[in-house]
Amino acid sequence: MSTLHTVNKSPFSTQSLLSCINHAKDGDAILMIEDGVYGAAAGTGVASVVAEKAGAIKFYVLAPDLAARGIDTSRLLDGVEAVDYAGFVALAAEHDRAQAWL
Amino acid sequence: MKFGVVVSEGPYTHEASDTAYNFVKAAIEAGHEVPRVFFYHDGVNVGTRLTVPPQDDRNIQENWSAIAKEHGIDLVVCIAAAQRRGILDENEAKRQGKDADNIAEGFRISGLGQLIEMGIQTDRLMMFGD
Amino acid sequence: MEDGIKKFLYVNRKAPYGTIYALEALEVVLIGAAFDQDVSLAFLDDGVFQLTKGQNTDGIGVKNFSPTFRALGDYDVNKLYVERESLEERGLTEDDLQEIMYEDEDDDWAEKPSIRIISRAEMADLMHDQDVILSF
């Protein structure tokens, strides 16, 4: 049993990503969408928090939201995988429940 | 698989209704079912037919009305949230003594029970808000 | 999921009054109670501020809905989980929260507290044990 968590806010303006990471269990997935995608880039102040959990938790980022914000996938943290909306749907179907960290 | 979808932020100000729309479109293309989308909080503002976005921008309400018509999606606007924010259908406008209604095609106003029922009857509940 | 009853968790992470989320979340809980599902409420992050005692909204002209939490027991909603770490980070203890009681029909209608203080790890377990999660 596992959960797909979605985070839609920048980690530089709210605690949502941090709180999500603190409540996610091993085997869960966290998908960063909308302004949440800013948490997926390498070299930021939150990168180490994500990197530390990547492995136990699988991190994904929504590619169309990345592209809209001018972030190239080459700038993503190691272990963060970009998916499109079809990939988002597949993740939601694969996991047993979805939890939005609004 | 059946997906229930909640939109809990208003159009244009927040990306939530766009993300929800793109998710629903992708889910249907993948062969899943989306029997209902429930609009709550400021999300009820998606359901007014009186918005006039610039020509070169997407029309969020029309997109929802179209996808709902094509795929038989029940677009439900929460009545309590709608009354606070001035979203009315013809019946509600009459009942409340208002001089106009503004509900868009394919949307209907109903109670919060529709949200709970959606949670019970679908396999996954997806929330899009802020 | 047993006998068609689903586990519903209402996750409250926002403070009251600054935005409408807390009030409209409570409205969903009250309506949802009629559906006889297995309902729990979670309060974490700024959501713990919803349950503090002494709220007085006279000066801002907004309805004080905090007394409604005390009526939840009458709707058979009596599992209000509050995260200890979220309280501590905000300088709060259980004593700062309202007393919310319910009558336990399985225990000769004994009065029991609805608020259960749990750790962050227990909150994670609770979230993982749900069928439907509604976030506010």
Evaluate whether ipTM surpasses 0.95.
Answer: yes
pLDDT for residue C2:
56
**Residue-wise DSSP of C69-134:** GGGGGGGT---EEEEHHHHHHTT--GGGBPP-EEEEGGGTTEEEESEEEE-HHHHHHHHHT-SEEE
pLDDT tens per residue, range B16-66: 999 999 999 999 999 999 999 999 999 999 999 999 999 999 999 999 999
pLDDT for residue C103:
96
pLDDT for residue C6:
97
pLDDT tens per residue, range C54-84: 999 999 999 999 999 999 999 999 999 999 9
User: Which is the catalytic residue, given B46, B73, B78, B87?
Assistant: B78
Q: Which domains does chain B have, with CATH numbers?
A: 2-128 (3.40.1260.10)
Nearest of A85, A100, A67 to residue B25 by alpha carbon: A85
Nearest of C128, A92, C82, A56 to residue B125 by alpha carbon: A92
Percent of chain B with pLDDT over 90: 100
pLDDT for residue C4:
79
pLDDT for residue B21:
98
Residue range B9-18: mean pLDDT, rounded: 98
pLDDT for residue B106:
98
Quote the distance between the C-alpha of residue B36 and its chain's center: 9
Q: For chain C, how many helices (H) and strands (E)?
A: 3, 7
Nearest of A42, C74, C79 to residue A50 by alpha carbon: A42
* Residues of B at the A interface, defined by Cβ within 8 angstroms: 1, 3, 8, 15-16, 19, 22-23, 25-27, 29-30, 32, 124-130
pLDDT for residue C108:
96
pLDDT for residue A9:
98
DSSP A90: H
Q: Do B41 and C20 touch (CB under 8 A)?
A: yes
Q: Which domains does chain C have, with CATH numbers?
A: 7-135 (3.40.1260.10)
Q: Which domains does chain A have, with CATH numbers?
A: 3-101 (3.40.1260.10)
Query: Is B78 noted as a catalytic residue in this protein?
Result: yes
Smallest Cα distance from C108 to chain B, Å: 30
Spans of chain A, pLDDT less than 70: none
Smallest Cα distance from A34 to chain B, Å: 7
Helix (H) or strand (E) holding A23: helix A16-23
Say yes or no to pLDDT of C36 above 70: yes
pLDDT for residue A30:
98
Nearest of B120, B118, B121 to residue B6 by alpha carbon: B118
Helix (H) or strand (E) holding A21: helix A16-23
